[in-house]
Amino acid sequence: MSRMRLTDPLHEPQNAVPGDRVRRAWALIVLTLLIPGAAQLVAGNKRFGRLALRVTLTVWALLLLTVIIALVNRGFLVSLLAHPVVLAILPFLLLALMAGWVVVWVNTFRLCRLAILPPRWRGPVAGVLVVLMVLSGGALGYGAYLLNVARGTLNDVFDAGRPPFDPVDGRYNIALLGGDAGAGRTGLRPDSMSVISIDATTGASAIISVPRSLQYARFPADSPMHKFYPDGFNNCDPDPLNCLLNAVYTDATDNHKDLYGAGKNAGAEATKDAISGTLGITIQAYALIDMDGFAQLIDAMGGVKMRVGAWVPISGGMLPGSDTRHVKPDGWIKPGNQTLNGFQAQWFARSRENVDDFARVQRQQCVQQAMLKQLDPTTVITKFEAIAKAGAHVVDTDIPQGQLGGFVDLTGKAKGQASVRMTVGPPDFPAGFSLADPDFDLIHQRVKALLAKATGDTKASAATAPSGTVSEDGTPLSAVAVSGGAQASGPLATAVQPKAADQLPPDFPLSTTRPDGDTITEAYLNSLYDAQDYEMLDILLAKNGNCAAL
């Protein structure tokens, strides 16, 4: 007959058999890991255990509530977590939880009574307990650090004082300005300008690119700049370049910096107004991103996946004493499916060797779509710190911090929907459309048609578009136009431009062969530069605006 165990291993381990002592120690460690305070409640100071357990249950309840809110209204949750007061408090709460859990672990270490454990179990029990203490406390400490990084980034980037704005005609319209104030440049002039228009209900988006070389941009009647340029931005004297759309930023910064009030970025605000008047829609906010910050953000994301249609030169520049850009590049981006790092994506978006600005605009749109598509929750969570720090390179934005939740919610809705896009110029406008003397009524009509198409109103899209510019399925058709807006002649005047890049099939053909059928190589392209055969380069690189986000 076996001897009955009359001792209580939990409270009197010294009287228990060695096996029960070991099992008791492991049980206390598991309880402290899963339910901090439970080990003290069953085997130690009950008052301390009840206090720790109340904290644990409160944290669990808050986590459960967070999950429920995330499932029901993710936008509200993001807005709550992005609130300056909440962001300031949360890191300290996590640090307090970390300190409390460490105290519980230390107390559990004492409760395990290592001295009465069999010698061969003392090391493993102590080692596991210390490792778990470091991992659990370290996780909370690192969480507090990441929250502090997020707080710094949000405070640096977004406008905490501006109240959230309402959609206009059911859409949010945000201007994206790509700034480049590098060496050899006077001040900052946006190199790229586009508008992302998002349906406030469905998240359906449209991207409208506006060439920086567009002249005589219109200002809405309520814009402070309208009284200076009532007939459009005609600041052409003494330099015609001062008439271009991207010169609005410099003009407002240098000459009208007080128009928009103290603390405002007059250049960005004026550019936002100019884009509003030009497109015939209300631009509610802007984000100005410098090119270095753009490259860092791409790297933080792990690159962007892209199908590149033709060879794209890296670097290059202007020939001395010439208005043509035919300097031999420093490298090349090859056609095909690939992942572009920050440096490559930066040049993919800005390169204009041997092509016009419209091919570059198409590539910029592809990069924007790739970022929207690939900046998913998993990427944000796993690479949060790098993305947050890169995000601080956004030079300026007037997007309210309190608006972030709603935009995150809309971004989630937009994930499963195709985005439509348009460029003010080729290939989306007919031959003869001139950036030097734009037809603003035509621009307004085309923008209205595009937004109707983005909303799913194909009938309104077809009815609004100018006659002869929409196919039977509502897809815009465009006659070939040339850079600078000059009238095309001969067969080109009536030809139809291929579909825009977002309408290309996922496996659209690549430009990888020469007219004679031989394969295009980097060495061959460089030899054409050495021979100054720019005509052949123009032919081979003509379709490098063809691209698609993967």
- Give the range with max mean pLDDT: 138-142, 385-389, 469-473: 138-142
| The total number of residues written for the chain in this structure | 550
Prior bond of 238 cis (ω within 30°): yes
Instruction: Please check the confidence at residue 87 and state whether its pLDDT lies above 50.
Output: yes
pLDDT at 255: 87
Q: Is residue 203 a contact partner of residue 192, using CB atoms and an 8 Å limit?
A: no
pLDDT at 7: 64
User: Which H/E stretch holds residue 129?
Assistant: helix 119-157
Interaxial angle between packed helices 46-72 and 74-81, expressed in degrees from 0 to 180 and rounded to the nearest 10:
130
Q: Is residue 159 a contact partner of residue 398, using CB atoms and an 8 Å limit?
A: yes
pLDDT at 109: 93
> What is the CB-side half-sphere exposure of residue 473 using CA atoms within 13 A?
3
User: Could you read off the pLDDT of 419-459 as tens digits, one per residue?
Assistant: 788 888 877 888 788 888 889 999 999 999 888 887 765 44
DSSP character at residue 2:
P
User: Which H/E stretch holds residue 280?
Assistant: none
User: Which H/E stretch holds residue 333?
Assistant: strand 331-333
Sign (positive or negative) of CA dihedral 424, 425, 427, 428: positive
User: Could you read off the pLDDT of 228-258 as tens digits, one per residue?
Assistant: 999 888 876 666 667 888 889 888 888 888 8
pLDDT at 318: 46
DSSP character at residue 476:
B
Instruction: Please check the confidence at residue 476 and state whether its pLDDT lies above 80.
Output: no
Q: For the domain 171-549, what is the CATH superfamily, name and number?
A: LCP protein (3.40.630.190)
Q: Which of 16-25, 132-141, 307-316, 394-403 has the lowest mean pLDDT?
A: 394-403
pLDDT at 100: 93
**88 CB neighbour count, 10 Å cutoff:** 13
Instruction: Please check the confidence at residue 4 and state whether its pLDDT lies above 60.
Output: no
**Strand, coil or helix: 192:** strand
Mean pLDDT of the chain: 78
pLDDT at 34: 92
Measured between alpha carbons, how far is 324 from 349 in angstroms, rounded to an integer? 19
Q: Tell me whether residue 171 is exposed, middle or buried, using C-beta atoms within 10 angstroms of its C-beta: 0 to 12, 13 to 18, 19 or more.
A: buried
Of 160 and 271, which is predicted with more confidence? 271
Closest CA to 391 of 299, 499, 520: 299
pLDDT at 459: 47
Hey, what amino acid is at 318? M
pLDDT at 160: 67
The whole-model pTM stands at: 0.65
Alpha helices in 17-118 (DSSP H): 18-34, 38-43, 46-72, 74-81, 84-111
pLDDT at 271: 92
pLDDT at 97: 94
For residues 27-34, average pLDDT: 93
Predicted confidence band of residue 468 (pLDDT cuts 50, 70, 90): very low
Instruction: Please check the confidence at residue 136 and state whether its pLDDT lies above 60.
Output: yes
**Strand, coil or helix: 545:** coil
Instruction: Please check the confidence at residue 210 and state whether its pLDDT lies above 70.
Output: yes
pLDDT at 105: 95
- What the block records as the tokens of 187 is 């001040």
Partnered with residue 394 across adjacent β-strands are: 289
Measured between alpha carbons, how far is 548 from 550 in angstroms, rounded to an integer? 6
Looking only at the bridges linking them, the beta strands covering 420-423 and 205-209 are parallel
pLDDT at 316: 57
- Give the range with max mean pLDDT: 9-13, 66-70, 422-426: 66-70
Predicted confidence band of residue 473 (pLDDT cuts 50, 70, 90): very low
pLDDT at 27: 93
Hey, what amino acid is at 424? V
For the chain, give every domain's residue range: 13-157, 171-549
513: left (phi over 0), alpha (psi -120 to 50) or beta: beta
Alpha helices in 280-401 (DSSP H): 291-301, 342-350, 357-374, 377-382, 384-391
DSSP character at residue 9:
T
Closest CA to 129 of 44, 27, 9: 27
pLDDT at 368: 74
pLDDT at 470: 38
Instruction: Please check the confidence at residue 58 and state whether its pLDDT lies above 90.
Output: yes
Sequence-ordered list of residues with C-beta below 8 angstroms from that of 464, at least 6 positions apart, any chain: 445, 448, 449, 452
Q: CA-based diameter of the chain, in Å?
A: 111
Measured between alpha carbons, how far is 447 from 538 in angstroms, rounded to an integer? 30
